[in-house]
Amino acid sequence: MIIDVNFVGLIIASIMASAVPLILASCGELITERSGVLNLGVEGMMIIGAISGFALMTVTGSLIIAVFGAMLAGVLISTIFAFLTQTLITNHVATGLALTIFGIGISAMIGKNFVGIPGKEFPVLFESLKDTIPLLSPILFGHSVVFYFAFALPFVTSYFLKKTKIGLIVRAVGDSPESASNQGINVKLVRYACILYGGAMCGLAGAYLSMIYTPQWIENMTGGRGWIALALVVFSTWNPIKILIGAMIFGGLTIIQFHMQAIGVRIPVQFLTALPYIVTIIVLVVISRDSRKIRLSTPSSLGKSFYKDN
């Protein structure tokens, strides 16, 4: 049997494409959590991003407006979360869950009029180079700008947290908001910004799904990816590079199990469908089991409300 290298390249590219929304949402949520805020509304923000992007694309016809509109929608819905948890000091967990339920509901309502409408083609970059190098070309070239952005994001996030002043402040706030506040850092402002950034990334992840990955609107089309993104953040121990690894494993197994089902491998379908979830978590737990490192990268104040009593 001869394996076509370009076919392998295409499979890898499709794995990467399926990892994109996970990477975007996880890296956004990672920043939010590093500042000590636990936003369980990832799924809700993604689905809002998905419907906003698709609706804006259909209505305005502009892809740029649609992509940025989806991010803005993510920002707006996360503003609700930020206002509730930071200004009104509500519980992070309950508020986040409510946000997801709200997002799924409102997206279904808005989306009613968009079911069945075909999407637009999203332009890809470097298409002319697609046949130049065997194996690598399909992986490297011919993808949307969001795709390239997503694969750069973990490295940028890592650099931002480790090397920049603002990254340091975000980590400091997540470690001890009390100390940060006594150092003159505006804890609420930092946390607001991190929540809103997380919202923007989740909105973008949603827009990728409805505009690029499967260009159409289907109710509940995020299909639990938001929860996977949340799990990736935790099991990667708040490390963006490990998020990338986790997202690739998850995306890879999802694609491969589809192929296995198609070929008719004699393994129960339920087990195959569950496989990506199980393996991703096992791998991430194994690569992050150094308890010292976990302690050092876990935001100590995660999920705890902070208020200054003057």
Partner 1 sequence: MNTNLKISNVTKIYPGCVANDNVSLEFNSGKIYALLGENGAGKSTLVKILSGVIIPDEGKIYLNENNLKLNSPLDAKKNDIGMVFQHFNLFETLSVFENLIIDSDEQREVLREKIDSIMRKYNFSIDLDIPVLNLSAGQKQKVEIIRCLIRSPKVLIMDEPTSVLTEQETSELFLSLKKFSEEGILIIYITHKLKEVIELCDEVAVMRRGKLVSVSEIKNENIESLANKMVGQNLKTIKKKKEKNSSDKLINITNLNFISEDPFETNLSDINFSVNRGECLGIAGISGNGQSELFQVLSGEIISDKNSIEFNKNYIGDLNPQERREYLMAFSPEDRLEQAAIPQMAIFENVALNNYKSSNFFNNGLINENKIKEHSKKIISDFNVNTDNIELKSQFLSGGNLQKLIIGRELITSPDLLICFNPTWGLDVGAINYIHETLIKINEQNKSIILISTDTDELLKLSDKISVIHKGKLSKIMDADEVTSEKLGILMGGGN
| Binding footprint of partner 1 on the chain (CB under 8 A) | 165, 168-169, 171-172, 175-176, 178-185, 291-292, 295-298, 300, 310
Smallest separation, CB 97 to partner 1 (Å): 24
Task: Scan for tokens 């008719």, then name that residue.
Answer: 264
Nearer residue to partner 1 within complex by CB, 114 or 192: 192
Nearer residue to partner 1 within complex by CB, 128 or 310: 310
Nearer residue to partner 1 within complex by CB, 6 or 91: 91
Smallest separation, CB 297 to partner 1 (Å): 7
- Among 4, 30, 20, smallest CA distance to 161 is for 30
Structure tokens belonging to residue 310: 């003057």
CA distance 152 to 261: 32
Nearer residue to partner 1 within complex by CB, 60 or 300: 300
- Among 224, 223, 219, 225, smallest CA distance to 107 is for 219
- Among 114, 125, 98, smallest CA distance to 44 is for 98
Smallest separation, CB 118 to partner 1 (Å): 50
Smallest separation, CB 170 to partner 1 (Å): 11
Nearer residue to partner 1 within complex by CB, 259 or 293: 293
CA distance 289 to 91: 29
| CA-to-CA separations, 54 to 24, 45, 60, 114, 159, in angstroms, rounded | 18, 14, 10, 8, 32
Smallest separation, CB 168 to partner 1 (Å): 6
Q: Looking at this protein, which amino acid is placed at residue 22?
A: L
Smallest separation, CB 87 to partner 1 (Å): 18
Smallest separation, CB 34 to partner 1 (Å): 11
Nearer residue to partner 1 within complex by CB, 29 or 175: 175
| CA-to-CA separations, 96 to 10, 40, 80, 254, in angstroms, rounded | 37, 4, 10, 27
Nearer residue to partner 1 within complex by CB, 4 or 178: 178
CA distance 196 to 190: 10
Q: Looking at this protein, which amino acid is placed at residue 15?
A: I
Question: To 10 degrees, what angle do helices 145-163 and 5-34 make?
Answer: 40
Smallest separation, CB 39 to partner 1 (Å): 21
158 half-sphere exposure, CB direction, 13 A CA radius: 14
Nearer residue to partner 1 within complex by CB, 137 or 237: 237
* DSSP 3-state percent helix, strand, coil across the chain (nearest 5): 75, 0, 25
Burial class of residue 310 in the structure, from the number of CB atoms within 10 Å of its CB (0-12 exposed, 13-18 middle, 19+ buried): exposed
